[in-house]
Amino acid sequence: MRIESDFLVIGSGIAGLSYALQAANHGSVAIVTKRDISESATKYAQGGIASVYSDDDSFDAHVEDTLVAGAGICHEDVVRMVVEEGPQTIRNLIDWGVKFTTSGKSYDLTREGGHSARRILHAEDITGREIERALVEAVRQHPAITIYENHIAIDLITSAKIERRKLEQNRCLGAYVLDIQDDIVKTFSSKITLLASGGAGKVYLYTCNPDVASGDGVAMAYRAGATIANMEFMQFHPTTLFHPLAKSFLISEAVRGEGAILRRRDGTAFMEKYHKLKDLAPRDIVARAIDNEMKTSGDDCAFLDITHEPAEVVRNRFPNIYQTCKEFGLDMTKEWLPVVPAAHYLCGGVAVNFDAETDIPGLYAIGTPAPDDEVLVTANYKMSYDIVRQAVAGRNVWLLVLETYGINVWCAAGKGTFGTGELVRRVTGSGLAQVVSHRRLILPILGAPGVAAYQVAERCGFFISYSTIRAADLPEYLENGRITTTAMRQMTFTLYERMVLIPLEFVLACKSIALISGAGLLLAALIGSPAAVIPAFCAYLGAVLSGIVLGPLLLPWLPGRSFAIKGAITGLLWSLLFYAIAGGYGWNAAFTAAVFLVLPAVSAFYTLNFTGCTPYTSRSGVKREMHIALPAMGSAVVAGLVLLLAGLFL
């Protein structure tokens, strides 16, 4: 069974569901999840989400706290990006229906280990459950999202696996998925596959993860050829309830954030000797401290004491934790809770390479650009590249050149070479993320048909702005703060622009003129008519010039939208002129028909080439016209040659 979608999401936690909701605005989404859609690690999260959400906090402070907690091995640029996007992410969750706990007219912000300020938004002590509830409800209501519960992803489908060979550019095409209830394997094919399958806590004996966190997503990525890294970084939550029936029930870090103290069995508070933040130290330090105390004392667990806080405050702030502990015979307002560390969060997994390559293929500097200067994208076509370079001469910009194999932007966009895949390859291959400090790409408007902006953003993190149609307008566009005027968006194909292109097209046609003339000379020699070579050459050259020169010059006044039709009309005019000059009144019917079939077809072909230079009359570009016009041209030429040969022997 084959199921097709634009996006395939494997996993139904906060990562997968939030992505699905955003992706659904751009196409169809299939969500595959092992069990019930709400069964994920997200559901069991208690404390909350950290984000700068008050005037007393700052991005710099949050970044610094994160770098300290990460022991200096975090990628600072990524940390800053995540921190700065935090408030918008929170607003997205609120828009999707998440109800965070409020205090008066503002959100109730609490504090957890490693944080220097109150920046944790929460929904009582069941934050994950509330987030999962809202996101599940939102995806169930979205018409573009289909949910497949009780479906286990088995393996990723890649182009290398299908072709059974190593490819330089491998691509994920979807996944094979086991339908547990029907016991069949289904093929899910998609343009984009998101692996949001969670961690691997269940490989440990003690974990606060649900049973679905078995690490198979990482294994699938590894089998598909992805690099796996940092698997040694498994975060252990310091405080899970030590009880034979509790199945490692998590005691939120927020409990310590509200004043709880870790103690040995004899009552000694021990965190002071491990870190200056004491019980609010980062998780890894607290977990190692508890582990060390257990080993040195011989105790089975440590104890979390919040009995010094008012009982009513504790019950109101942590209703779920309080009630669950009561079910196990423990009253956290009156007695210490026995706690031990347990596997919690897989920090490693599928690697993302943040290192720039030593060389920078496809990326050029105009002037002396700085990291915050703009990146202009153009094509590997002499006129496209040269005109853009000349237009921005004297400015400091980056120029990212896509490999379009000598074809201009408009034509390449229609063919797909100026497209999403090539753009992403050039961005990642050039290490652009390490060269510039922003995430903006400026593309010509005529490149829009080949590029899906949202896919570029998803695949490499860069966002696209479409600038102008003409490179000459780029300086004004940049000075206006990347704002286009109406004139910049209007397509023109002036007489001057057409005259500039005419000699270029003629030079390109010289090779075909020489080849066809040589073939004509050979044919004339074979049939014993060398005298016919000169008039035949003149007829052919006239048709070429009709298509390359006359068609473009008369473009606005020739009827029809199709360039091929316009070229055929000028070719027909040349056929009439040639008929009169060459004494066509003495030709037989077959020869006359051959001339009036072949010459307009040749002229139409060369005028058709101008479709790749402009969408002036054909918004669909050269590809659609080729599909319609080329078969017609070919049929006319073949029929004409048959009639020509027939006329010679009749």
Query: What does the DSSP assignment read for 449-460?
Result: GG--HHHHHHHH
The residue from 256, 283, 317, 498 that is catalytic is: 283
* pLDDT over 70 (residue 617): no
Q: Is residue 512 part of a domain?
A: yes
Q: Tell me: do 212 and 239 sit in the same domain.
A: no
| pLDDT beyond 80 at 526 | no
605, part of any domain: yes
Reported pTM: 0.53
- How many angstroms separate the CA atoms of 83 and 299, rounded? 39
Q: At 290, which CATH number? A: 3.90.700.10
Provide the residue range defining the domain that includes 202: 2-229
**Does residue 356 form part of some domain?**
no
Clarify whether residues 406 and 510 are in a common domain. no
**How many separate domains does the chain show?**
4
Domain C-terminal end among 201, 229, 257: 229
Kindly state whether residues 24 and 95 are assigned to the same domain: yes
The string of pLDDT tens digits covering residues 444-482 is 988 888 898 999 999 999 999 989 888 888 888 888 888
184 phi/psi in degrees, rounded to 5: -135, 155
Residue 59, strand partner residues? none
3-state helix, strand, coil in the chain (%, to 5): 50, 15, 35
Both 369 and 474 in one domain: the answer is: yes
CATH classification at residue 153: 3.50.50.60
How far apart (Å, rounded) are the C-alpha atoms in residues 596 and 572? 7
Q: Which helix (H) or strand (E) holds 189?
A: strand 184-195
Distance (Å, whole) CA 23 – CA 29: 7
Instruction: Examine residue 355 and state whether it is found in any structural domain, yes or no.
Output: no
336 and 266 share one domain: yes
> Domain ends where: 350, 373, 391?
350
pLDDT tens-digit map of 343-379? 988 888 876 534 322 222 334 444 457 778 899 998 8
Are 587 and 451 found together in one domain? no
- Calculate mean pLDDT across residues 423-451: 85
Give the pLDDT band (50/70/90) at residue 158: confident
Rounded to 5°, the CA angle 442-443-446 comes to 155
Rounded Cα distance, 575 and 546, in Å: 10
Question: How many angstroms separate the CA atoms of 177 and 184, rounded?
Answer: 8
Given a contact cutoff of 8 angstroms between Cβ atoms, the answer to whether 100 and 94 are in contact is: yes
pLDDT of residue 623: 62
| Higher-pLDDT residue of 127, 408 | 127
What's residue 360's pLDDT? Answer: 24
Q: In this structure, are 289 and 261 located in the same domain? A: yes
553-574 confidence digits (pLDDT tens): 898 888 887 888 899 999 999 9
| Residue 357 domain-assigned (yes or no) | no
How far, in Å, CA of 45 to CA of 26, rounded? 30
Comparing 405 with 309, which gets the higher pLDDT? 309
Asked if 238 and 220 sit in the same domain, the reply is no
Query: Is 108 inside a domain boundary?
Result: yes
Domain membership of residue 549 (yes or no) is: yes
Nearest to 440 by CA among 363, 367, 376: 376
> For the chain, what is the mean pLDDT?
85
Out of 316, 350, 384, a domain closes at 350
Active site residue 119: no
Does residue 274 share a domain with residue 164?
A: no
Higher per-residue confidence, 1 vs 127: 127
CB 599 within 8 A of CB 536: no
* Residue 358 covered by a domain: no
> Do 537 and 499 fall into the same domain?
yes
In terms of domains, do 313 and 395 share one?
no
Q: Are residues 337 and 407 in the same domain?
A: no
